[in-house]
Structure 1
């Protein structure tokens, strides 16, 4: 009899303990929630593209994509402190979304039919073009002017090959491991031009150490519709992000982000694109 009473008392104590633990767990979860009641959000960006997405030596993040992502996250209910930034190199973007490593990706992510088969896109939020970066005292007015000149791009990129195949078959292609190496080569005269998206080129030209050294040639060699990547099938996230992007344009925060990140390069950007308007 005493044994039964002791067992009953112990069970009651255990039940109370579990109840208290559960309540404590709920309180802990709510303390890590964002402004809109959700938990922290993880956003994929580039860490190595000045003006687009760059992790600085002090651990902060800068760039147009970072500004766009921060604005969107705020509209979704997350303060800047609620954002976890995750590096997503080009080759890993689809996989990161499929695995759920990130909630969305803002990383100079051009919308293509091949990518749309794997992920969904909000936007576009920027229309970029393949262009050339040249020294400020040089003059290249058209693609054919590259014939006989040294053209740089990163290994594995199709940008330089596009120029060689379509515009300047006599250009001498030089491949380096990073755009920073191409910039150094351009500064030293080892190459005559660097090619990739004009937004990326403007970011490099806007760096303090490069101001006044380089300029964009102003050639629109291709259309690159930057979109925000979302996991396939998440229609609500796409709709919510599109609403945030529209508001960013309306309240002029989009224009400010362009000026802040690309202004020193005198980047002649396209107007903010209409949601769903893909320029081929």
Structure 2
């Protein structure tokens, strides 16, 4: 009897401009996503997309764009608009999760006006624009914390450009730091499942809840359910939904095909990603909040860890 080949759950992430846009440890975001998937039995494939490479949206489940200096952004801006624009727009409108940091964030708005030289045309995903007011205006540098989805996000920012939102929804409200422009207390922008932010650090290692949010969006889009409660390997040892004590949580099916067939049987989609040991991540998160004087927020973060 031929043993049936079990196909693991997989996600494919397109990393746009990994050589040109990779400031302040932005690659750590990729490492975090890969590790958090791996610990749940999900394979995350990462494919770099450089200048000149087309973006075929049906080949990816997530996209990431990092930050870079002005001199690096000019050729990227042209390539993004002329080569990858159509594919990226199609992915965004199809609710693919996209994370764009700093320079990548700026290029998803209408335009970036540098201190010197012509404007760089953006894709206009966010109704926003960015203006660098010149060397005489201090840069927005330092640790930053924002409110997000009933909790907090922390990171590090270093940008000369000031981003102003039109009708775009902000990612969050600045609790400490500069955010988009050091004026209106707004940080980042959101359109569908696309998130733009100035937070480096890198962002995802100190914000495991945001990393899991992106993973959950990708899983929902590909496999039809929002969240998963068990790892691929653990679930393969169960029959159905397991013991009586386990019946309140639906186990992850053993194959991608089983998961695809299961999506139509789940009505409330209330499952959650299997919790990981994020002690160090939440302690780092709380430590930054404490350094910023946000003691109540730090306490809330530690309560999340204990919970």
> Is the pair's TM-score, using the shorter chain for normalization, greater than 0.5?
no
More helix by share: 1
Greater relative contact order structure (CA < 8 Å, 6+ sep)? 1
TM-score by length of 1: 0.34
TM-score by length of 2: 0.32
Q: Whose Rg is larger?
A: 1
